[in-house]
């Protein structure tokens, strides 16, 4: 699809939003795929609830286009998640998103398109963000972000990593954006993050390099990819996306930009794409988010809470 160009605005690091819970000092520039859980000292449930079963989907009319739609108010738990993901580095993610401005929501106006990060097996397990000896570690995400937080309008595209939010321009609300997120490790102390928020405009990109000998070296206790809502329950509304997500492609390695362009046009059309494809569902429905790649091990996600709403176009 042809999309108008967004001018690339300078990025800046706003005041921290990713936070530690009561008794822990706030991290400067903190965030996470929206923002991040609170703890009231309650013990985790003795047996975590299983994933929400999805009903058998009705047959789709030929040519129907589907997507997952979140209302943005976070009035219910509706998080899509993938267990046992590929390692945090290297990776490539492709999405098609249709975002709408959060301007009337009473909850904090944080967002979650996706996160790779730590989670819990239930929603009463306390702080899952600062899991590494009281510090956040091994996560990233990309989506809109309130400026200024927590209730700001406009919101701006962002990369969330290293307890900070790196911002770009305001989304072009109410139209589709194809997006590519790439993350890779250059060496033992350098990791790179690129978010092309309006592909194929190569100037519509937010980048951040982490220079740290420890960042991303330790796997979280329960790593997952999450979508639509955050796993951390820090804010009312769970940092819910507002709009539609579809055209989901995950790759367990770094695709070149040329390969990414080919994979967007035709999934698994490149040698690297065929080798690295981990999950594919171009037309997800709340009742059918199953992996459609048709090769290797299927990686089917689950819903926590209720499914998102169904969008058709």
Question: Is 36 a domain residue?
Answer: no
- Has residue 149 got a pLDDT over 70? yes
Task: State residue 87's pLDDT score.
Answer: 97
Cα–Cα distance, 308 to 208 (Å, whole number)? 31
Question: Is 27 a domain residue?
Answer: no
Task: State residue 58's pLDDT score.
Answer: 58
Model pLDDT for residues 219-238, shown as the tens digit of each residue: 999 999 999 999 988 888 99
Query: Looking at residues 76-89, what average pLDDT do you find?
Result: 97
Question: Is 26 a domain residue?
Answer: no
Task: State residue 236's pLDDT score.
Answer: 87
Task: State residue 43's pLDDT score.
Answer: 40
Question: Is 190 a domain residue?
Answer: yes
Task: State residue 133's pLDDT score.
Answer: 83
Query: Looking at residues 264-271, what average pLDDT do you find?
Result: 98
Question: Is 20 a domain residue?
Answer: no
| pLDDT band at 27; cut points 50, 70, 90 | very low
More confident residue, 44 or 160: 160
Query: Looking at residues 132-154, what average pLDDT do you find?
Result: 92
Question: Is 45 a domain residue?
Answer: no
Share of the chain above pLDDT 70, in %: 79
Task: State residue 131's pLDDT score.
Answer: 85
CATH of the domain at 88: 2.60.120.200
Residue 196's domain comprises 66-312
Question: Is 28 a domain residue?
Answer: no
Total structural domains in the chain?
Answer: 1
Question: Is 44 a domain residue?
Answer: no
| pLDDT band at 12; cut points 50, 70, 90 | very low
């Amino acid at each position: 699809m042809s999309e108008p160009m967004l001018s690339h605005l300078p990025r800046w690091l706003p005041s921290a939003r990713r936070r530690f819970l009561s008794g822990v000092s706030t991290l400067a520039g903190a965030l996470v795929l929206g923002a991040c859980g609170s703890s009231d000292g309650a013990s985790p449930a003795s047996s975590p609830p299983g994933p929400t079963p999805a009903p058998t989907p009705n047959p789709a009319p030929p040519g129907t286009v589907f997507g997952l739609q979140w209302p943005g108010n976070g009035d219910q738990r509706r998080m899509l998640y993938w267990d046992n993901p590929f390692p945090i580095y290297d990776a490539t993610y492709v999405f098609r998103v249709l975002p709408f401005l959060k301007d009337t929501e009473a909850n904090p106006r944080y967002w979650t398109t996706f996160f790779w990060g730590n989670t819990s097996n239930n929603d009463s397990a306390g702080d899952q963000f600062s899991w590494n000896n009281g510090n956040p570690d091994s996560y990233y995400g990309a989506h809109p972000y309130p400026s200024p937080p927590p209730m700001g309008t406009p919101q701006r595209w962002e990369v969330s990593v290293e307890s900070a939010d790196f911002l770009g321009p305001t989304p072009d609300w109410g139209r589709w954006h194809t997006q590519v997120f790439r993350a890779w490790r250059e060496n033992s102390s350098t990791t790179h993050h690129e978010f092309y928020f309006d592909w194929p405009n190569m100037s519509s990109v937010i980048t951040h390099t982490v220079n740290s000998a420890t960042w991303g070296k330790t796997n979280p206790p329960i790593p997952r990819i999450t979508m639509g809502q955050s796993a951390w329950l820090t804010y009312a509304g769970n940092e819910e996306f507002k709009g539609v997500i579809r055209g989901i492609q995950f790759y367990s390695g770094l695709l070149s930009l040329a390969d990414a362009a080919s994979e967007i046009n035709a999934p698994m059309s490149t040698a690297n794409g065929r080798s690295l494809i981990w999950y594919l569902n171009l037309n997800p429905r709340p009742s059918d988010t199953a992996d459609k790649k048709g090769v290797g091990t299927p990686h089917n996600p689950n819903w926590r809470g209720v499914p998102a709403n169904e969008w058709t176009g």
